[in-house]
Amino acid sequence: MNTFEQNILNIYGQKGREWLEKIPGTVQQISETWDLTNLNPIETITYNYVLSGTQKGKPIILKLSLDAERLNKEIDALKVFSGYGVPKVLNNNNSALLLEHLIPGYPLKTFLSERKNEARIIACQVMKKLHQASFSPAYKNSFPLINDLLKILDKTWDIPSQYLIKARFLRDNLLETHQEYKLLHWDLHHENILLNDNEWFAIDPQGVIGPPISETWAFIIDPILDTEYIARYFNYPLENIRQWYFVRLILAICWNLEDNLNPQHFLHLAELTFPLV
């Protein structure tokens, strides 16, 4: 069993098992409806079943999701971000999304070993471009508010109590401090930033309304050096960037626990960051 299958079973149980079993038939049906050929699964998948292929000779990406609400939110986010560095939506329904295939599609993650500073610059540029998008009131109810998502921190969780107490305190202060809200990608890590021709694009937006500074957490690898660079690039207070990073780490831990996933990676990062906040 691969990571993708295990994740689906951990989160959805029997419903997930039935969905996995139906994937071949679903792919066949969609390929006939949308005239898709040469479909092949992408190896690095975690929560959605993703295939590359062609439609009338043009390269495409087909994404299947068990979570219709989340998929529709991604579609709405892609439409809002259209023209600001995201792939084009070619077609969609409640369980599938057809996108243009970004070529060559190298993830920014490949820069991290030898070109870290360049990766920092690119991530900041991609984020800045996304946040230039404005969305009409018609889309406002399509996306959750960060304030509502962060209420999950008020529950009881099996993590060090000092982390939860600190995260709640920082959350309350930060939400009072930052008044400007934008549509956020919400998952802008290095594997979700891909090269398209000579331009970097963002994929898989989740769509959350919140302060732009809270977006930076996803591409922080080094809690000291990365936060210092981001503070200079955006002219954000360094302490606020680190505080948002910590809050988002604790949020990620809570979500992992809620989905029966291992939160150890985020716990380790929280341990490193706690002395900085």
Distance between CA atoms of 232 and 23, rounded to whole angstroms?
46
pLDDT in tens, 126-145: 999 999 998 777 777 889 99
Distances in Å between the Cα of 104 and the Cα atoms of 71, 195, 231 are 24, 6, 31
66-112 pLDDT tens trace: 999 999 999 999 999 999 999 999 999 999 999 999 999 999 999 88
217 token code pair: 């957490």
Q: Which two tokens stand for residue 76?
A: 């709405």
Q: Does pLDDT of 2 surpass 90?
A: no
Residue 201 contacts residue 85 (beta carbons within 8 Å): yes
Which class is 3-101 in CATH?
Answer: alpha beta
| Distance separating the N- and C-terminal Cα atoms of the chain | 40
Cα–Cα distance between 228 and 24 in angstroms, integer? 47
pLDDT at 1: 75
Q: What element of type H or E holds 210?
A: strand 208-210
Distant-in-sequence, close-in-space partners of 33: CB < 8 Å, separation ≥ 6: none
pTM higher than 0.85 for the full model? yes
- In CATH, which superfamily holds the domain spanning 116-276? Aminoglycoside phosphotransferase (APH), C-terminal lobe (3.90.1200.10)
Q: Could you check whether 3-101 and 116-276 share the same CATH topology? A: no
DSSP 152: G
Query: Which residue shows structure tokens 């949308």?
Result: 34
- Predicted confidence band of residue 46 (pLDDT cuts 50, 70, 90): confident
Structure confidence at residue 141 (pLDDT): 84
> Cα separation of 134 and 181, whole Å?
11
For residues 61 and 50, is the Cβ–Cβ distance under 8 A?
yes
Cα–Cα distance measured from residue 66 to residue 81, given in angstroms and rounded to the nearest whole number: 23
- Sorted by where each begins, the domain ranges of the chain are 3-101, 116-276
- Please tell me the distance from the alpha carbon of residue 155 to that of residue 178, in angstroms, as a whole number: 24
Tally the C-alpha atoms within 13 A of residue 219's C-alpha that lie toward its C-beta. 32
User: Who contacts 172 (Cβ-Cβ below 8 Å, separation ≥6)?
Assistant: none
